[in-house]
Amino acid sequence: MEKTVKTTCPYCGVGCGVIATVTDTGAVSVKGDPDHPSNYGRLCSKGAALAETIDLDGRLLHPQIDGRRAGWDEALDRVAEKFAEAIAEHGPDSVAFYVSGQLLTEDYYVANKLMKGFIGSANIDTNSRLCMSSSVAGHRRAFGSDTVPGTYEDLELADLVILTGSNLAWCHPVLYQRLAAAKASRPGMNVVLIDPRRTMTADLADLHLALRPDTDVALFVGLFAHLVANNAVDQNYVAAHTAGFAETFAAASNMSFAEVLEQTGLPAMQLREFYRLFTTTDKVVTCYSQGVNQSSSGTDKVNAILNCHLATGRIGRPGMGPLSLTGQPNAMGGREVGGLANMLAAHMALESADDRDRVQRFWQSPAIADRPGLKAVDLFQAVAEGRIKALWIMATNPVVSMPDADAVEAALKACPFVVVSDILMDTDTTRHADVLLPSLGWGEKDGTVTNSERRISRQRNVLDAPGEARADWWQLAEVARRMGFKDAFAYGAPVQIFQEHAALSAFENAGERDFDIGACSDIDRQTYDALSPFQWPRPAGSTPAEQRFFADGSFYHADGKARFIAIEPVACDRTDTAYPFTLNTGRIRDHWHTMTRTGKSPRLSAHIAEPFAELHPRDAMELGVGNAGLLEIESPRGTVIVRALITERQARGSIFVPMHWNDQFSAKARVDVLVPPIVDRISGQPASKNVAVAARRF
Ligand code: SF4
C-alpha cells in the first residue's frame, strides 16, 4: 500500500518541507510541501534528488566490532564498558562525543544529557562548530542569548538585503529563490553581495563588493563610523535599549573611509554606494553565513554587523534585522539542546551556577559539567595527544571535513577506543572505528529539526529501518543504561524525548530565557505525529505564531539592554612568498558535505563531476596551467591535486576549492588537509576561508 508522509529535507539550514511517497513496490518519490512555510513547495536540486540517495548500497546494516559482525547487545556492552573504564581510570574528561548538525534534536538531546549531566563532562562538540559557532558567540555577546531575531519573510519584506559571506544561490537555494521572486515583484529592492568571489549569487546583486578576504570587520566598523558621522544613528533606540555605544564609537572612529578602502581593496564608488544604501534604507536585512563565521575574526564580524543594526534600531521589526543562515539542517536544534561544548541545554549558560543547578535538578542527574569542554579543533588535538581515551563520533565524517584532516585521521588511528555511528559501512572515518553502530538515515528517522528561522519541523519516517539499524537516540540511551543511568534514559519513543526537551525549556523560565517551547511539554504521541512546523518561542498557553524577537527592544542581558561590542579590525593576510595564494573552501550547488549521500545520485554528480580549483586566468597563465589541467595545491599541512577551472569570477591571487570530495571519489582531493587548525579566539570556529597555499601545475 502506498504511504505518504510530510517530512523535512536533511540538507541545508533552509529546512524545506518535503512530501515523500513510497509505493508498494518500494519506489520512493519526493516533492516540495506546498504547505511548509519555509519553502511553499519549492525544492532545490539536492532536495529533489533525495530519492536517488537512499538505496542500501554501502549501508551499514549490523553492528561491528573490530571489523566483524556483532549483535547489538555485545556492541553496546563494549561501548559502555570502554567508556566506563576510561572514566574510572582517567576521569570524565577523558571521554568525548563528536556529533553533528545531521542529528535530530531528540538524538542531540540525549547525547548532551548523557555527557553533561551523567558522565559529568562537557566534552561534547559538534560539526556545527565548523558552521555557525561564531554567530552563536556574537549573538550571546550582543543579545545575552543565542537568538536569531529575524525570519525568512523579512528577506522578502526588506528594501535592502545584504548577503555577506553567503553564496545563497548554491548554499541556501530555496531561500535564494524566495529572494529572487521578491526582487522580481519589487524591482526597487536592492541586493548587495559582499564576497571576495563573484559567485552565482552575484547575478542577483545590484552591487557586489569583492573585498579582500577577512576584511568584513573593517567594512562594517567603517559603516558604523559612517552612520554616526551622517547622523543615521537612532539615538532614542540606542539610549533606551542598548549599552556600550560610546566605547564602540571610540574604537570605530579610527576607521576612516580611506582606511576601509585601504583594508578592503574596494573601489571608492562601490564603498560609497554601499554606505549610502545602508544609511538611507530603513528596511535592511543582513544575512551572514560561513564567509563570516569561518574566520579567525568570525565573532567580531558578527558583532560588527549587529552593531550597525542596533545603532539604527533596525532589528525586531518586519523587513529588518540581522539573519544568520545556518549551514546544516539541525544546527539550530543542536544549539537548543546545548550540543556545543560551551553551552548548556535549552539555551542556558554553562558558566552560570544557577543554570547548572537548574538543569541538574531537572535531570536529577548525579553530575553536571561545570566548565566548557573541548571545542572541535581542540577535541581532536586532545585525541592526538592521548588525553581522550574513548571517542564516539555520530553522523559526521571528520577525516574529510575537519581542518588539518590528515592530523585528525592520525589522531583517530592512535585513539585507544573509537565508536562511529553512521549509515554507511565505509567512509574515511568509519575505517578507524573499533565499534561501528548502524544508524537510521533520512526517510527512516523520526524526530524534529530546527531551521535557520527557528522553525521546528518534523522529520518522519516513510521507510522501515533496514537491517538492524537503530536511531541514534536509542543507541545513546542503551549505552547510558548500561553505564548505570537507567531511569533517566528509559525512553521508548522520540516523542518522550521531545516532551522532556520542551519541559526543560520551560522549567523555571518566566520569560528570562529566549528558548521556550513549553507548549509542547505534555505533547502526546498523536499530536507529535501531526505536529505542523512552528517557530519558537512557543511558551505554555500560547498558540503557534510568526514571531520576531526584540520587537519591544528588550534583550536577554540582566539589564534588558543589548550590547554594542567595540571591535578593532586586525589585518589577516596570511600569504607569503612560499604560499602566495589565498585558498577559500566552500560548497557547490549539488553536493552536500562529504558526498556520502549526494555522491550516489548520477544527476547531482553530473553538475560538476570532479573536484576543481577555481582560479583567475592570469594566475593560470603564470602557473602554465590550462582549463581542466591538473593543479597541485600545497599548504604546510598537506597537498591536494584537482582540475583547474579558470574563471574571472575568482579574484587574482585567490583559489576556491570545494569541501566535498573524499578519497573514495577522488584521490588527493580532501581540501581540508590544507586548512590549518586556526580558530576564532571566542567561538573556536576554524578559519576555512583564508588559507595561505602554493599552487603549481601537476
Ligand atoms: Fe534541502 Fe536546502 Fe535545498 Fe531546501 S534549499 S531542498 S533544505 S538543500
Whether the complex's predicted ipTM surpasses the cut of 0.85: yes
pLDDT of residue 406: 95
DSSP string of 221-247, one letter each residue: HHHHHHHHHTT-S-HHHHHHHEE-HHH
CB distance 684 to ligand 1 below 6 Å: no
Q: What CA–CA distance (Å, rounded) separates 191 from 156?
A: 11
The β-bridge relationship of strands 160-164 and 284-288 is: parallel
Cβ atoms of residues 24 and 30 within 8 Å: no
Whose CA is closest to atom 2 on ligand 1? Answer: 12
CB distance 13 to ligand 1 below 6 Å: no
pLDDT band (50, 70, 90) for residue 592: confident
Q: Which position has the grid cell 549490523?
A: 62
Q: What is the mean pLDDT of residues 493-504?
A: 98
Q: What CA–CA distance (Å, rounded) separates 84 from 200?
A: 51
pLDDT of residue 544: 62
pLDDT band (50, 70, 90) for residue 595: confident
Cβ atoms of residues 195 and 164 within 8 Å: yes
CB distance 341 to ligand 1 below 6 Å: no
Q: Which position has the grid cell 533606540?
A: 237
Q: Render pLDDT for 334-355 as a digit per residue (tens, 0 to 9).
A: 899 998 999 999 999 999 999 9
Q: What CA–CA distance (Å, rounded) separates 657 from 612?
A: 6
Q: Render pLDDT for 382-416 as a digit per residue (tens, 0 to 9).
A: 999 999 999 999 999 999 999 999 999 999 999 99
Percent with pLDDT over 70 in the chain: 99
Sign of CA dihedral 261, 266, 270, 271: negative
**Residue 370 DSSP symbol:** -
CB distance 30 to ligand 1 below 6 Å: no
CB distance 327 to ligand 1 below 6 Å: no
Q: What is the mean pLDDT of residues 265-277?
A: 98
CB distance 110 to ligand 1 below 6 Å: no
455 CA distance to ligand 1 centroid (A)? 14
Q: Render pLDDT for 421-445 as a digit per residue (tens, 0 to 9).
A: 999 999 999 999 999 999 999 999 9
Instruction: Please report, as a single letter, which amino acid is at residue 627.
Output: N
pLDDT of residue 545: 61
CB distance 9 to ligand 1 below 6 Å: yes
pLDDT at 680 over 90: yes
- Write phi, then psi, for 528 (nearest 5 degrees): -60, -45
pLDDT band (50, 70, 90) for residue 223: very high
Nearest to 688 by CA among 259, 295, 369, 188: 295
pLDDT of residue 227: 98
Average pLDDT of the chain to the nearest whole number: 95
Cβ atoms of residues 179 and 155 within 8 Å: yes
Strands (E), 200-320: 207-209, 242-243, 284-288
Contacts of 214 (CB under 8 A, 6+ apart): 295, 296, 297, 572, 687, 689, 690
Whose CA is closest to atom 3 on ligand 1? Answer: 44
Q: Render pLDDT for 16-72 as a digit per residue (tens, 0 to 9).
A: 999 999 999 989 999 999 999 999 999 999 999 999 999 999 999 999 999 999 999
Q: What CA–CA distance (Å, rounded) separates 180 from 155?
A: 10
- Residue 633's DSSP bridge partners are 640, 695
Provide the 10 A C-beta neighbour count for residue 548.
20
pLDDT of residue 546: 55
578 CA distance to ligand 1 centroid (A)? 40
